[in-house]
């Protein structure tokens, strides 16, 4: 990423402003007179979901569905987004890439193909971070196996589906066939009928999917082109606000490797079974259960 060299105003290939949302107040730093490209993102303030959805003043904009998705992700404190282009979704993830450049999304890359993207989302969500991706039509079916694994693993990931014809005849027009598959995948499925729905549903999807008593992926579907590429009115809270980050401790399943990170202390070790020996391997300690003669009963953590 080109640190500090971002242009003042980004444009998409059509030459339009990336979003018609009003620019934030000037946030120039003293860094040689250059604007900190992450400055606005750093100044975002976390607010409660209740405030974000029901109390924060909103301004109405006339923007495309893809831009609505971008603005939703901007306010959703997303940690990771993985992209793979497919019409009509490509523009959405392209705009998320712009958010990455601006520091609103912490990590972003293009996957190998949809199977790899959805697998990466599975791993990242399991690791405890907030994830967002999007796909469409054939991409949905190509990534379906790992998508189905999300719900089985109780992963709170959010995926946007800009629905289109899958194939035969090959076309890129809107179609809802892929939703039939998603409805059988164990995930929660929303269908956004317009740009406003898309903005609201994406943000609420993060909150709902991460609720302890939900802990499931959410798919936010919409018609490709009719919603993604058409402009509509969308009321949005100020982009200086963002949702609280994901709290990985609150899921109904533990996040991956959390125990390894916390392995230094086993609080009951003296009381129960691990009384005597802790060995250090690299930066981590491993507990060994010893019997009275000092023989290892079980090497408890080496297989972590």
Give the residues lining the site for other proteins (CB under 8 A): 48, 154, 212-213, 215, 247, 249-254, 258-259, 261-268, 270-273, 275, 283-284, 289-292, 297-298, 300
Nearest distance in Å: CB 226, other proteins: 37
CB nearer to other proteins: pick between 179 and 256: 256
CB 212 within 8 A of CB 186: no
CA distance 41 to 74: 8
C-alpha dist (Å) from residue 21 to 217, 236, 296: 29, 9, 64
Give the shortest CB-81-to-other proteins separation in angstroms: 22
Phi, psi of 249 (to 5 degrees): -75, -15
Judged by CB, which is closer to other proteins: 164, or 246?
A: 246
Tell the smallest beta-carbon distance from residue 272 to other proteins (Å): 6
Q: How far is the CB of 182 from other proteins (least distance, A)?
A: 22
Residue placing its CB nearer to other proteins in the complex, 43 or 250: 250
Judged by beta carbon, residue 60 or residue 298, the one nearer other proteins is 298
- Asked if residues 138 and 170 have their Cβ atoms less than 8 Å apart, the reply is no
For residues 207-229, one letter each, b for 16 or more C-beta atoms within 10 angstroms of the residue's C-beta and e for the rest, the string is bbbbeeebbbbbbbbbbbbbbbe
**In the complex, least distance from residue 271 CB atom to other proteins, rounded to whole angstroms:** 5
Q: 202, 67 in Cβ contact below 8 A?
A: no
Which lies closer to other proteins via its Cβ, residue 171 or residue 253? 253
Tally Cβ neighbours within 10 Å of residue 62: 11
């Amino acid at each position: 990423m080109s640190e500090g060299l971002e242009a003042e105003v980004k444009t998409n290939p059509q030459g339009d402003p990336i979003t018609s949302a009003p620019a934030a107040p000037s946030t120039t730093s003293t860094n040689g007179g250059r604007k900190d490209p992450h400055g606005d993102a750093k100044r975002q303030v976390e607010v409660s979901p209740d405030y974000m959805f029901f109390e924060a003043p909103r301004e109405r904009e006339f923007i495309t569905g893809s831009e609505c998705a971008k603005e939703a992700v901007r306010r959703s404190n997303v940690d990771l987004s993985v992209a793979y282009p497919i019409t009509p979704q490509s523009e959405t993830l392209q705009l998320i890439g712009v958010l990455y450049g601006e520091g609103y999304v912490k990590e972003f890359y293009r996957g190998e193909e949809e199977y790899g993207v959805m697998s990466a989302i599975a791993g990242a969500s399991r690791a405890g971070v907030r994830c967002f991706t999007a796909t469409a039509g054939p991409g949905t079916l190509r990534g379906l196996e790992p998508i189905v694994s999300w719900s089985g693993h109780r992963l709170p990931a959010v995926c946007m589906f800009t629905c289109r014809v899958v194939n035969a005849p090959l076309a890129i027009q809107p179609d809802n066939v892929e939703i039939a598959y998603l409805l059988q995948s164990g995930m929660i499925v929303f269908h956004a009928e317009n740009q406003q729905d898309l903005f609201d549903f994406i943000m609420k999807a993060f909150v709902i999917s991460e609720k302890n008593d939900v802990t499931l992926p959410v798919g936010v579907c919409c018609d490709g082109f009719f919603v993604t590429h058409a402009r509509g009115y969308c009321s949005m809270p100020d982009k200086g606000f963002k949702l609280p980050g994901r709290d990985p401790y609150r899921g109904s399943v533990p996040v991956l490797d959390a125990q390894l990170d916390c392995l230094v202390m086993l609080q009951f070790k003296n009381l129960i079974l691990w009384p005597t020996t802790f060995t250090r391997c690299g930066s981590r300690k491993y507990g060994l259960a010893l019997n009275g003669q000092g023989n290892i009963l079980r090497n408890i953590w080496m297989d972590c």
